[in-house]
Chain A
Amino acid sequence: MHSSLIDYTIHLADSTHILSQRNSEWCGHGPILEQDIAITNISLDLLGQSRNFYQYAASLMNNDTNEDQLAYMRSEREYKNLLLTEQPNTDWAHTVLRQYFFSQFQFLLFEQLQNHNDPQLAAIAAKSLKETTYHLRWSGEWVIRLGDGSEESHQRMIVAMDALWAYTGEMFIATPYELISGIDFKALNENWLAKLQLLLAEARIPIPENTYFQTGGKTGTHTEHLGFMLTELQYMQRTYPNCEW
């Protein structure tokens, strides 16, 4: 029970952390200044959420670990983030679609999690829900705008959908450590799909027929991208261990 709670909390921390890291690559390079600021803001929110989860996980482990130890000193086989969150930015279409998939999932998850019997998880979920609501609206609007925008943006959304769809299923396939979470994954999946279908109809994007999903991120088997991300992310802590920053 205890170790599952730790794993689950670390999984929530890793997913938000890695997606934050991906989104932050846009900072200073966005398609227009207002959107550069918006995606950086989302990156910051996700980073804040991940810190809350890491800090909670560290307190559950009650040795002298801390948020930075957890974020910077674990290898890729120990990282438990969703594969979706580590997929490269590629272009604005991939970025906003990835964000929408994740935010819609997170929104529904946090709705359940805010009533969780673990008061700390419940509190973090309740606190994060407001931010997530904004991320969901922002990314949903962009999916529609690009899907129903120009011929080129429509094509790019189709390509993004094709690239990312296979990574969505993992969100709803519970790992052993998630079984204790009390989350109703079936309901989560159905509600997520229902919301998605409404949005994609407006965005004029078909849902791919492929229902074979990639899994493994939540148990530490990642795509080839994560290793490079962690190499960069962990560079300072690995080069200068045991320092304060």
Chain B
Amino acid sequence: MLVQDMEQIFQDKIDREIKIEPKDWMPEAYRKTNLRQISQHAHSEVVGMLPEGNWISRAPSLKRKAILLAKIQDEGGHGLYLYSAAETLGFSRDEMINDLLSGKAKYSSIFNYPSLSWADMGAVGWLVDGAAILNQVMLCRTSYGPYARAMVRICKEESFHQRQGFDALLVLSRGSKEQKAMCQDAINRWWWPSLMMFGPKDSESTNSDQSMKWKIKRKTNDELRQQFVDMIAEQIKTLGMVLPDPALKWNEARKHYDFGAINWEEFWNVVKGNGPCNKQRLAARNKAHDEGDWVREAAKQYAEKKRNRAKEQAA
């Protein structure tokens, strides 16, 4: 069959909302885009464990510590499902992890910001998981089957994380003067980076059109960002806090909130490695990996020994 025909059949399936499965024929660019996106997503889950892990030992109550630990553990689980989904595209988890550790692969830039107070745990849950959910709800209907299915499992947990984050902030917002200040400060620091999570403006996003045609994405960056602003601008009213954007205002004609300009220079710099914690995050992942080397090696050797002993016994 001609490649054009294959592409025709492929696009036809996508148009009819039939999921693409690992053994199906797919254009090389489709495979690569999915692999890049799913592995980046997996890396984000794992690197995302670090800023929140920063507060486990100092969590202010036993209940909050339990919630935080369970949340971070969930993120590790998300990493596992996503690495498995990415592996169906013919690249091993070890190779993906090597790309992360060498700095070749990217992860969500949001995790290159520091978590500086307890309130950050609430703000991250509410804003960062909140932004992630909008993207992930869309991805539950993405065209690549294994990715879509992983997202369905993950989304349930993410919405729980967002609610818990909001709940942690709600307690602070009703607390002492210091707690209120802590809450507002965390929102001030995490708001703009959360907006950047949706990626560059549609007018500057390079592979957006193809991704939409292949239904890898179903909404553009700007559509998702607007959806997020509309959601948070309403939710913050319950907290009695403010978003750090004087231009934020309901636009009756558009039926959306208008909002101020994003600092894209900062965005691109964080992507390039100049964020406040890029080096620390990568160093922490490398340290864990290097220090775990002998453990993985021992496990491998032990498994081999066990296999050989079983063989000897059978002989």
Q: Is the CB of B294 within 8 A of A150?
A: yes
Q: Is the CB of A24 within 8 A of B69?
A: yes
B53 interface contact, C-beta 8 A:
yes
B179 interface contact, C-beta 8 A:
yes
Q: Is the CB of A47 within 8 A of B295?
A: no
B272 interface contact, C-beta 8 A:
no
Point out the residues of chain A lying under 8 angstroms from B64, CB to CB: 245
Given contacts A30-B288, A47-B62, A237-B60, contact A36 B76 (CB under 8 A): yes
Q: What's the Cα separation between A68 and B175 when bound, in Å? A: 17
Point out the residues of chain A lying under 8 angstroms from B60, CB to CB: 236-237, 240, 243, 245
The residue in chain B whose Cβ has the minimal distance to the Cβ of A51 is B62
Q: Is the CB of B62 within 8 A of A32?
A: no
Q: What's the Cα separation between A37 and B225 when bound, in Å? A: 32
B267 interface contact, C-beta 8 A:
no
Given contacts A51-B66, A71-B62, A236-B58, contact A244 B175 (CB under 8 A): yes
Interface centre among A33, A71, A232, A243 (most CB of B within 10 A): A33
Interface centre among B61, B168, B171, B175 (most CB of A within 10 A): B61
B77 interface contact, C-beta 8 A:
yes
Q: Is the CB of B298 within 8 A of A24?
A: no
Q: Is the CB of B58 within 8 A of A92?
A: no
Point out the residues of chain A lying under 8 angstroms from B72, CB to CB: 27-28, 40
Q: What's the Cα separation between A232 and B179 when bound, in Å? A: 19
Point out the residues of chain B lying under 8 angstroms from A184, CB to CB: none
Q: What's the Cα separation between A144 and B294 when bound, in Å? A: 15
Q: Is the CB of B292 within 8 A of A243?
A: no
CB distance from B76 to the nearest CB of A (A): 5
Interface centre among A31, A50, A144 (most CB of B within 10 A): A31
Give 1 or 0 for each of B127-168: 1 = CB within 8 Å of chain A CB: 000000000000000000000000000000000000000001
**Dominant secondary structure of chain B at its interface with chain A:** helix
Q: Which of B62, B66, B118, B302 contacts A148 (CB 8 A)?
A: B302
Point out the residues of chain A lying under 8 angstroms from B69, CB to CB: 24, 27, 40, 43-44, 47
Given contacts A24-B57, A153-B295, A243-B175, contact A29 B287 (CB under 8 A): yes
Point out the residues of chain B lying under 8 angstroms from A112, CB to CB: none
B65 interface contact, C-beta 8 A:
yes
Q: Which of B50, B59, B176, B292 contacts A236 (CB 8 A)?
A: B59
Q: Is the CB of A240 within 8 A of B178?
A: yes
Point out the residues of chain B lying under 8 angstroms from A34, CB to CB: 80
Given contacts A37-B80, A41-B73, A236-B118, contact A149 B49 (CB under 8 A): no
Q: Is the CB of A148 within 8 A of B46?
A: no
B24 interface contact, C-beta 8 A:
no
Point out the residues of chain A lying under 8 angstroms from B46, CB to CB: 33
CB distance from B181 to the nearest CB of A (A): 11
Given contacts A37-B76, A44-B66, contact A32 B305 (CB under 8 A): no
Q: Is the CB of B291 within 8 A of A31?
A: yes
CB distance from A226 to the nearest CB of B (A): 13
The residue in chain A whose Cβ has the minimal distance to the Cβ of B59 is A236
The residue in chain A whose Cβ has the minimal distance to the Cβ of B77 is A37
Q: What's the Cα separation between A51 and B76 when bound, in Å? A: 24
A8 interface contact, C-beta 8 A:
no
Q: What's the Cα separation between A31 and B53 when bound, in Å? A: 16
The residue in chain B whose Cβ has the minimal distance to the Cβ of A34 is B80
B2 interface contact, C-beta 8 A:
no
Given contacts A149-B298, A150-B294, contact A40 B59 (CB under 8 A): no
Q: What's the Cα separation between A144 and B65 when bound, in Å? A: 31
The residue in chain B whose Cβ has the minimal distance to the Cβ of A29 is B288
Q: Is the CB of B118 within 8 A of A28?
A: no
Point out the residues of chain B lying under 8 angstroms from A33, CB to CB: 46, 76, 79-80, 83
The residue in chain A whose Cβ has the minimal distance to the Cβ of B69 is A44
Point out the residues of chain B lying under 8 angstroms from A29, CB to CB: 53, 284, 287-288
Point out the residues of chain A lying under 8 angstroms from B61, CB to CB: 68, 72, 237, 245
A54 interface contact, C-beta 8 A:
yes
CB distance from A150 to the nearest CB of B (A): 4
Point out the residues of chain A lying under 8 angstroms from B291, CB to CB: 31, 91
Give 1 or 0 for each of A63-95: 1 = CB within 8 Å of chain B CB: 000011001100000000000000000011000
A48 interface contact, C-beta 8 A:
yes
A111 interface contact, C-beta 8 A:
no
Q: What's the Cα separation between A36 and B230 when bound, in Å? A: 37
A25 interface contact, C-beta 8 A:
yes
List of 5 A-B pairs having minimum Cβ-Cβ separation, nearest first = A31-B292, A149-B298, A153-B298, A236-B60, A28-B53
Q: Could you jot down 6 A-B contacts, CB within 8 Å?
A: A21-B57, A27-B72, A40-B73, A67-B62, A92-B295, A244-B175
Instruction: Identify the B interface with A (CB < 8 A).
Output: 46, 49-50, 52-53, 56-66, 69-70, 72-73, 76-77, 79-80, 83, 118, 168, 171-172, 175-176, 178-179, 284, 287-288, 291-299, 301-302, 305
Extra inter-chain contacts (9) besides given A37-B76, A150-B301, A236-B59, CB under 8 Å: A29-B53, A29-B288, A31-B288, A40-B72, A91-B291, A92-B292, A149-B299, A152-B294, A237-B60
